[in-house]
Amino acid sequence: MAAVPVLDRLAGTVPDGFGAMVQLMREMVVKSAASMRVMGPLYAGRAARRDGRPDEAAALEGQALAAVDSAGADAPFLRAVVLGTVGRKEEATAIVDQLVRDGLDPSYIAALYQRLDAPERALAALPPVDAPSERPWEASALRAQTLAATGRIAEAAEHADRGIEAFETALARYARDVLKTSATEDLDGADLYLTRILADAPAAAVGDVEALRRSFATSDRARSVSNSERIESTRSEPAVRRWLALGSRWAAAYEDLGNMVTSLDDVDVDVVRRRLRHVEDELDDAEDKLLAVDPELLAASRRRRPPLDIDAVAAALPAGAVLLQYHLWNDELLAWAMTAGGLRFQRQEVDGADLASDARRFLLAAGGSAALDDALDGRLAALLVDPWATELEAHERIVVVPHGALSVVPFHLLTHAGGRLGERHVLSYAPAAAHLPRLAAPAAPTARSFVLGDPAYAPDRQLRRLPGSGVEARAVQAALGVDRVHLDVGAARDVVLAEAPGSPLLHLATHGLLDERGPNRAYLALAGVDELTVADLLALDIEGAFVVLSACNSGRGRATAGGDVVGLIRAVLASGAGSALASLWPVDDEVGCLLMARFYEHLVAEGDAAAALHRASNDVRLTSPADRHAAYEELAAHFGTSGAPAGRRDVTATEPHSQVGDSAAWAPFVYVGR
């Protein structure tokens, strides 16, 4: 088994606190290979279930259960953990009862009983409140959950507040954004925020203003906040950008290591060690240079987040808009509607795994992998849209703040009032309510915009050319009056890094790669063998720019337990972009070209990006497939471009162009901004 000796030799390169991934790898160093045959797939299975991949989760959980018997002395404890995770709670409880008699550490006993829905037993086993711990928020989370489960809500809220204080104090010790982001994978931290919200839920449900505001703010705090938002005054400094970019490269190196370890293949330890050390040295050097720019900068990045300014969020809402903020954790679906008139709250008990699965199935169906299922649509709409019918009737605009597994839901496709939500309403999205005041409507497009499309890929990459993206780039060039468009071999990484900074608008039309397990490894494919990575986007000076990523899956990423989504769009916003447009599924080369051409026509005419996307999407929706193809041929002929459109803009796609379904045609893009 190659994984354990690899990690034994790499242990010194693993930094403290690098989230769940590094915590798992550290456990691999300490525990036996046999134990990790259980915990590795079990952890991966829980993440898969949370993300809405039930078949993958079931296979991983089965792998964990099959490995229990080889775990030696740890087998009873591990069997209880696995059985409890897969829902066989009576069997697990019997094992835990025996472990109590055998004298297992009380903190482990309490945690097991709590997860087995035996809160009274958990409460009896809890260690003293002030027992020393390197991770004090864990004990607070367990005690808060246990007290809440036994009806002692006020005490639960007190311990949740104490745990959140400890968790955020620990979080503040990390200067690097990737550490803060990975820390939001902490399951106990996520439990603390949920427990605190639930303590306010009864009062919030009947309109208590203080409870409404506090619960809304607590949900927002659960989402991570990038360092770049803390250092806006110096973000344009090259040293700051290099630091942010190298942080992403550092995270990508550990994502690669995680893949190597869990693959159990032979690993060249020296190669891995050299890469990790090299990236770490570069990052250390970047931090030294950052201190030279501003000695207080890194210290400022270690401060706790300020409280959410709810009034500033309300003031930032577009006219006639309602903001819908969601929070999904465990089996609780919590949501708030914010309007000019105040807040309204609703709590629904759900099967969290089933809801996550429905969200992903709806996404796949919307993208054309299967026909849209009316029953599936109805279940999601009943939970996510129908409770807000009164607000939706009174507001044309909707700002959606999703959470975790709900980040993949195309809300504009959910059924409401006899049609799709996006047919009648103008939708935009925000990663967190706190981001809304910092997001901005795009400035008027100008000839200084940067436009790129149809890169000439190296043959050995086996990527199909995208003629439709070339026609699209020409159409954008014409709409904006841009002097130069970057196509073919000119659509290269060094061109983007040299010429895109300072542009008020960036339009990039190409293939995209999504890696939900390694979000820092996502990229846009450029000419030759070039890739525009998350780190590259963080390095760009695009303060206030409007960034359009006309590529497959560019609006998706990995959802953390805290609700943040790590990927290309987060990098764009962390770089200072004021707004962005991206896709939730593979974009068809022909229809994507048409949709973007219409989008820019409306944007130039009206100056409202959210409304322009709404109108362009409905233009395409109301056009027949035959008329779409004719319109594309007309555009291609107008710009003197040859070549049939190439199908999906996805580096994993191999099929030639084929007819796409209705929703896949008109609804792939979402607007992130005001």
Please name the amino acid found at residue 303. Answer: R
Distance CA 618, CA 375 (A): 24
State which H helix or E strand residue 324 sits in. strand 321-329
pLDDT at 27: 47
Closest by CA to 575, choosing from 536, 633, 529, 615, is 536
What is the DSSP annotation of 521-538? G-EEE-SBT-EEEHHHHH
pLDDT at 10: 40
Question: Exposed, middle or buried, 281 (CB in 10 Å: 0-12/13-18/19+)?
Answer: exposed
pLDDT at 306: 80
239-242 contact pairs (CB < 8 A, 24+): 239/286, 239/289, 239/290, 239/292, 239/293, 240/290, 240/293, 240/297, 241/538, 241/539, 241/540, 241/541, 241/575, 242/286, 242/289, 242/539
| Confidence (pTM) | 0.86
Distance CA 168, CA 174 (A): 10
Distance CA 9, CA 13 (A): 9
Q: Are 193 and 218 in contact (CB under 8 A)?
A: yes
pLDDT at 301: 65
pLDDT at 230: 46
Distance CA 190, CA 74 (A): 27
Closest by CA to 167, choosing from 198, 199, 138, is 138
CATH 3.40.50 residue ranges of the chain are: 450-672
Q: Are 253 and 275 in contact (CB under 8 A)?
A: yes
Q: Which fold has domain 3-229?
A: 1.25.40
Q: Estimate to the nearest angstrom the gap between the alpha carbon of 242 and the chain centroid.
A: 23
Q: Which CATH architecture has domain 450-672?
A: 3-Layer(aba) Sandwich (3.40)
Q: What is the 3-state secondary structure (H, E, C) of 397-445?
A: EEEEECCHHHHHCCHHHCEECCEEHHHHCEEEECCCHHHCCCCCCCCCC
Please name the amino acid found at residue 524. Answer: L
Using the structure block, give the residue that is written with the tokens 């903190």: 107
Q: Are 409 and 400 in contact (CB under 8 A)?
A: no
Q: Which residues of the chain have pLDDT under 50?
A: 1-31, 226-228, 230-231, 233-234, 264, 654-660
Q: What is the 3-state secondary structure (H, E, C) of 257-293?
A: HHHHHHHCCCCCHHHHHHHHHHHHHHHHHHHHHHHHH
CATH 1.25.40 residue ranges of the chain are: 3-229
Structure tokens at 463: 């990527």
- For 403-441, letters b (16+ CB in 10 Å) and e give bbbbbbbbbbbbbbeeebbbbebbbbbbbbbbbbebbee
pLDDT at 52: 79
Residue 629 three-state SS: helix
Q: Tell how strand 546-550 and strand 531-533 pair up.
A: unpaired
Phi then psi for residue 308, to 5 deg, are -65, 135
Neighbours of 630 (CB within 10 A): 12
Question: Which residues, at least 6 apart from 122, have a Cβ–Cβ distance to it below 8 Å?
Answer: 109, 110, 111, 113, 114, 142, 146, 149
Closest by CA to 185, choosing from 370, 415, 17, 436, is 17
Q: Estimate to the nearest angstrom the gap between the alpha carbon of 656 and the chain centroid.
A: 30
Closest by CA to 380, choosing from 406, 404, 347, 353, is 406
Neighbours of 300 (CB within 10 A): 14
Phi then psi for residue 667, to 5 deg, are -125, 20
Q: Cα dist. 214→196, 201, 224, 243, 256 in Å? A: 9, 10, 17, 34, 39
Residue 657 three-state SS: coil
Distance CA 211, CA 221 (A): 15
- For 636-651, letters b (16+ CB in 10 Å) and e give beeeebeeebbbbbbb
Q: Cα dist. 366→35, 301, 372, 586 in Å? A: 40, 40, 6, 10
| CATH classification code of 317-429 | 3.30.420
Residue 216 three-state SS: helix
Distance CA 514, CA 447 (A): 31
CATH 3.30.420 residue ranges of the chain are: 317-429
pLDDT at 297: 66
Q: What share of the chain is helix, strand, coil (3-state, %, to 5)?
A: 55, 15, 30
Q: Tell how strand 546-550 and strand 505-509 pair up.
A: parallel
Complete edge-to-edge strand list for the sheet that includes strand 321-329:
342-349, 332-339, 321-329, 397-401, 426-429, 669-672, 579-583, 546-550, 505-509, 450-455, 486-488
HSE (side-chain half, CA atoms, 13 Å) at 604 = 16
Closest by CA to 524, choosing from 576, 475, 587, 481, is 587
pLDDT at 649: 59
